Structure 1
Amino acid sequence: MRKNEGLTDLVDKLVTGAINGYGMKNGALHNMNGRICGIGVGIGDPEDITLKAVKMIKESDVLVCPKEDLGECRAYQIVKQVIPEVEDMDIMPVEFEMTKDENKRIHNHRRIYETVKKLVLEGKIVSFITIGDPALYSTYSYVSDLARKDGIETHSISGITSLTACANRLGISLCEGREQLHVIPTIDDIDDALDLPGTKVIMKCGKRIKTVKEKLRSKVGIDVYAISGCGTSNERCFRSLEEIPEDEIYMMTMILKSR
């Protein structure tokens, strides 16, 4: 009788739980309303955060920040200016290790995902805040890929990208008519990229700006623009190759337009 009663109790829980968003996974009862969200917060100016992003952040149970030191986490500092009460939220700071070793990157992403997965299976809404837009070179995309393979619900909220923000700050267009637009994430293979037609955007090139400038000096028919700290109090705009300083600046984006 006790076994039957236990089985009956479990069936009752499953029936009731199905109505309330519960189900079975790996033999355990869990809340299926948990999900993962990627939220783009723009690139620096807190006024650039969308209303949808603010709403989702406030609805989140756990907020994942892409840096262990919140004082140095640009995404968190942007959000804090718009939503001061974020300081009272459940924050999960993580460090996405920047390494060229693919095995180390995969291990790091898996480690972060497994921690997040446990929270989601408890029914929590876990949101990753990310600079720019989650669809453009975001570390969140690695976690969302793993989640989707496990059948976990994911969705993303767009943010203003560095591409468009920098172009608008400089007062130039990225492309017009039939012009092509090429995004170059690293200068490792910049030689071939510089010969592409249309507009080229070189991301985070400040650390090796001397190398980039040397390569550009031999090119003709190209207008060179750059901006560092876009949307922040340290923003600096440059409208020619000569104006760009050679001191290392991490958050620098360069835009090259063919004449």
Structure 2
Amino acid sequence: MKKGKVYGVGVGPGDPELMTLKAVRLIEENDVFFVPGKEPKETVAYKIAAAAVPALAEKELVPVYMPMRMDKEEILRQHRKGADLMEEYLDKGKDAVYLTLGDSTVYCTFTYLQALLEEDGYETELVPGITSFCAAAARVNIPLCEWNEPLHVMPAMHKLGDKLDLPGNYVLMKSGSHMAEVKEILRASGRDVNVVENCGMPDEKVYHDVEEIPDEAGYFSLIIAKEHNRDL
């Protein structure tokens, strides 16, 4: 029997209207959905997709638990466990969709599973979605970069030192749990700062200055730090 194919589908940052037509079509056409979390219907990715395609609620949802761990061996064990679970369904010959928040190519959990699945001979396809940083820039009505400005996308900024000293503009992701430390880095940089927390979601919050940002900002806090002077 031919093995099924799995699509890693980005559902965008939060607003269901920002899902792509391709993502909607694949959700409508498929019956099996892998969702990263213990309770699929409680995950952000599922809620976004279901708001755009209500029929998803009636389809088969398979939780693929991907816990946050610091131990590398444990991380690899969880990835292997998740891939093995997915392969059980793909071996039945049916295609499936892995729902992922944002874009499927930017800091995406499916990336790790994709590598294992392909090593085992399964076909995969990445379906892009609107990234959180593009959506956040649009939300605050500013361009991310212009003319010859570089754009630096950084995860967990608190781990990268105490300076934003490269030319161009910065996007800082996944720094919410260390926001007090990140705010000090932002102050020292002298850059213009905008932050969107939970972009496109019902509890979205926007901050236009470092001093407005709460130290306890949430995990989905996206920071855009831009240079004052631009050489166009």
| Aligned residue among 162, 168, 172 for 1:202 | 172
Shift in alpha-carbon separation, 1:67–1:193, aligned structure 2, 3 A: farther
Q: Which residue of 1 aligns with 2:214?
A: 245
Contact 1:184 1:193 in 2 (8 A): no
Which structure would you say has the larger Rg? 1
- Whether contact under 8 Å (2:163, 2:188) holds in the other structure is no
Whether 2:36 is the aligned partner of 1:53: answer no
Shift of the 76–126 alpha-carbon distance from structure 1 to 2, 3 Å rule, reads same
Within 5 Å, give how 1:1-259 maps onto structure 2: 30-32=1-3, 34-191=4-161, 194-220=164-190, 222-259=191-228
Query: Any stretches of 5+ residues in structure 2 without a counterpart?
Result: none
Cα distance in 1 for residues equivalent to 2:85 and 2:108: 19
Identity level (%)? 38
In structure 2, give the amino acid aligned to 1:225: N
Superposed displacement of residue 84, structure 1: 1.4
Contact 1:228–1:253, Cα closer than 8 Å, also in 2: yes
1:162-182 C-alpha deviation (Å, 9 max, x unpaired)? 010011101111111111111
Q: Residues of 2 paired with 1:102 and 1:253: CA distance?
A: 26
The count of corresponding residues between Structure 1 and Structure 2 is 228
Q: What amino acid maps onto 1:230 in structure 2?
A: C
Gap regions ≥5 residues in structure 1: 1-29
SS at match of 1:43: coil
CA RMSD of aligned residues (A): 1.4
TM-score, with structure 1 as normaliser: 0.84
Q: CA deviation at 1:191?
A: 2.2
- Give the Cα separation in 1 of the matches to 2:119 and 2:158: 32
Using a 3 Å threshold, how does the CA distance of structure 1 residues 215 and 188 change in structure 2: closer, same or farther?
closer
Any idea what the Cα deviations from partners look like across 1:47-91, whole Å, max 9, x if unmatched?
Answer: 111111011112223101111123430011111112212121111
What is the rounded CA distance, in whole Å, between the counterparts of 2:30 and 2:42 in structure 1? 22
Which amino acid is 2:105 matched to?
A
* Corresponding residue SS for 2:161: helix
**d(CA) in 2 for partners of 1:116, 1:102:** 21
Residue 193 (structure 1) shift = 5.6
Q: State the alpha-carbon separation in 2 of the partners of residues 247 and 137 from structure 1.
A: 22
- Once the two structures are overlaid, the 10-residue window that deviates more, 49-58 or 127-136, is 49-58
- The structure whose RCO (Cα within 8 Å, separation 6+) is larger is 2
Asked if the contact 1:227–1:238 (Cα under 8 Å) also holds between the matched residues in 2, the reply is: yes
Deviation at 1:132, TM superposition (A): 0.4
Q: Distance in 1 between matches of 2:189 and 2:153?
A: 18
After alignment, is 223-232 or 191-200 more displaced? 191-200
Mapped contact 2:137–2:143 kept (Cα < 8 A): yes
